[in-house]
Amino acid sequence: MASSSAASASAPASASATATLALPTRRQRLPPRSEFRFELEPGERISFRLLPQSGDAEVFGAPLVAGEGRWYPFGEEAKAAVASWTGAELEMSQAAFESISDEPSPTFTTHTKLHLALERSRIQARSLLRANPTLVHSIANAPAVVQPSSSPISFEAGSDAPQTASASSFAALSANEATAYRAEGQGPRVMIVGGESSGKSSLVKFLANYAMRSPAVCSLSSSSSSSSSANGKEEQPEITGWWPVIVNLDPGDGAAPLPFTFSALPLQPLPTAFLASSSPALPYGLTTSTTGAIHPTPTSAHIVSPYTLWLGRDNVRENEMHAKRVVDWLAEGVERRLARDARARMSGLIIDTPGVITADGRSRYAWIQYCARAFKVDTIVVLGHDKLNIELSRLYGHPSSGVSVVKFAKSGGVVELDDVYRSRLRSLQVRTYFYGGSGPAKVTIPDISDPEGIATKEVTLPGHDESLGGVSTLSAFSSSLPLDLMWVWRVGQEAMAPSSALPIGAQRTVTQTQLVKLDPASSSADQATLLHSIVALVQTPRGTGPKVGAAKAKAEAEAAAAAAAGIVGGGGLGDEGDGLSDDEILGSPVVGFIHV
């Protein structure tokens, strides 16, 4: 009887110990104005819960809401920091490499001051648009530009053009260009620049999250509540928060929808007023082209509808002429959006750029100058790069340039990312686009019910019972598409001889921005080029299709006349473009992707 009693008495203790060890968690106290930084390795996950009435916490400006069941998971090699203004107490599961910063974080100093400066600019733009309703109507009904102009300014080293450009504002220089841009009622246009792994994308997220969380009302009407009361209608609560547009000019960053693209992502404070950072595969949100609508939760990814153009490279330096032309088209697409969306217009642009390298200094950072000119930037933020700050301050130091250059120190929490990690991240982003999220995660812990202490079991930790960002696993399927029904082009040749290697008097017939048609149906080399590649499906502005009938006869007559006159053509779309130029195809938005 004694042994039986002892066994029954020890059972509750064993059950309690099992319940405690099955879900290993611990608590961490954050002092005021501090950051809890963490880095995850492949296969690791961590989740946080803000304890009620313990303070405030946020990740890159996205708030953590306190609650018993509100867990915020992170995984897939995420590297982030939980910041707190007043101090907070966190409960976490599956701890990783972590630390509490012992240095002042820029989140509480320079980054917040920058947000307040942008907030003032947005309020001024809103006041101007509210006071001039006819201006809003005229901007929205202005004729759209079919084809944007290229920048007429040369940014090559040794040229005096940059100083000439900085003597006048971009708004004044755009008066003679084919563009939908108008300076009236524009919100702030800030571009973040710096070296590689300097925290540019983190600052972009912070500014976007704080803009969407703003208590300001982003609307043209200032008296909607009073008019509702006068009409006897029930007052509707105003939607607070700005509607900024993130412009991603870093093709290796992997913003929605995929890497190797340039994208403009209009944000809105609905249904969630923040960009979650649960997975680096979803840096600026999620498109619904493949996943469909997902249920909004505190941890789900922000739904975006990006305007995307295809670059096909992870580095703008490989074909800078092509990249600049795609930037022209993207900038014009953004201007058309801002002309018809007053909320986005007054909220402004937040532009992310690729990291600069030492070689960029030889051309006086021509890529940054070109992007600043294309998007009519009024503020350039330099993160931790003294030489870049000095050069840009020299270029835009004239008061009439209309561009403010400010330098911020690089945060001590920035993680240095190598090429291996970046390649792994791009593969993850492509896999997430086609196959969805990674699903719930389980961990293996010792099974204390085993008397020998060698058995293990799998358990699901708090916050790990769903996919990161709310992206469910997709069941992708393959389909066959006849190659003779596809028109596939490559931008330029894979390798071109230098101009000095051409015969005397000869000119290059294929340029860096010219489309070269592939023929995978009859060429094994072209088939090998397409194999294991991502092909972008673009929506051309005026449709496509081979010329037939009178159009084909006209094209053949023009080609014969050109040949008789001794004119060497450039190939391109030929008689299969339905009148479309190569440039129009380059500027066509992406509607989807095919994995061959």
Alpha-carbon 29 to chain mean position: 33
Please report the beta strands in 424-563, taking only residues with DSSP state E, as ranges in sequence order: 443-446, 456-459, 488-491, 515-518, 534-538
Pairwise CA distance, residues 386 & 249, whole Å: 22
Pairwise CA distance, residues 471 & 295, whole Å: 10
Q: What backbone phi and psi angles, to 5 degrees, belong to 515?
A: -85, 130
Helix (H, G, I), strand (E, B) or coil at 311: coil
Helix (H, G, I), strand (E, B) or coil at 384: coil
> According to the annotation, is 201 in a ligand binding site?
yes
> According to the annotation, is 113 in a ligand binding site?
no
> According to the annotation, is 195 in a ligand binding site?
no
Q: Residue 253 in contact with residue 283, Cβ under 8 Å?
A: yes
The DSSP 8-state label assigned to residue 500 in this structure reads G
Pairwise CA distance, residues 96 & 23, whole Å: 15
Pairwise CA distance, residues 303 & 273, whole Å: 11
> According to the annotation, is 198 in a ligand binding site?
yes
Q: How many CA atoms lie within 13 A of 272 on its CB side?
A: 23
> According to the annotation, is 234 in a ligand binding site?
no
373 to 189, 223, 378, 403, 513: CA distances (angstroms): 11, 37, 10, 10, 20
23 to 71, 93, 458, 461, 465: CA distances (angstroms): 13, 8, 10, 6, 12
> According to the annotation, is 200 in a ligand binding site?
yes
**Amino acid occupying residue 416:** E
**CB environment 507-545: b (16+ within 10 A), e (fewer):** eeeebbbbbeebebeeeeebeebbeeebebebeeeeebe
Helix (H, G, I), strand (E, B) or coil at 458: strand
Pairwise CA distance, residues 332 & 462, whole Å: 46
> According to the annotation, is 199 in a ligand binding site?
yes
Crossing angle of helices 386-395 and 366-374, rounded to 10°:
50
> According to the annotation, is 76 in a ligand binding site?
no
Of 569, 278, 258, 206, give the one whose Cα is nearest residue 427: 258
Q: How many CA atoms lie within 13 A of 496 on its CB side?
A: 18
Of 422, 415, 362, give the one whose Cα is nearest residue 387: 362
For residue 310, the cross-strand partners are 261
Binding residues for ATP, as ranges, are: 35, 79, 197-202
Binding residues, as ranges, are: 35, 79, 197-202
